[in-house]
Amino acid sequence: MTVQAVCEQLEQLLSDLSFSGLVNMQPALLVQIKELRGWMSELGMQQGEELLGELERVLVAFQREECPAFEAVDMLCALEFYHKNMLREEPAQSEEEDEG
């Protein structure tokens, strides 16, 4: 699995969660989260893996009515931010650094 493929899978997962809603979430989405966490682990994407783990924990707690919806929404927002920035290229080095 490549970073680009993981990015696409994360985008699909976020889309599925957004369209299904937290109340109508299908159990298959939790399976997708676990698979995506495994791929991120293999690629050394520790932050993404941790965010997905926290999302999984919060979604399960929400389904059991053990946490409010805003906690799940906060995790979705954090993952959306991570997704938007995961393929950003490193800033170009300045000419001064190139000379040194």
- For residue 33, tell me if it sits in a domain: yes
Q: Which helix (H) or strand (E) holds 11?
A: helix 3-20
pLDDT for 48 equals 93
CA-to-CA distance for 57 and 5, rounded, in angstroms?
Answer: 24
- Name residue, tokens 């650094």: 97
| 96 belongs to a structural domain | no
pTM above 0.75, yes or no: yes
Domain of 53, in residue numbers: 3-86
Give the total number of structural domains in the chain. 1
Say if 93 falls within a structural domain: no
- Mean pLDDT across 38-62: 94
Neighbours of 45 (CB within 10 A): 21
Residue 65 lies in a domain: yes
pLDDT per position as a tens digit, 21-47: 888 888 899 999 999 999 999 999 999
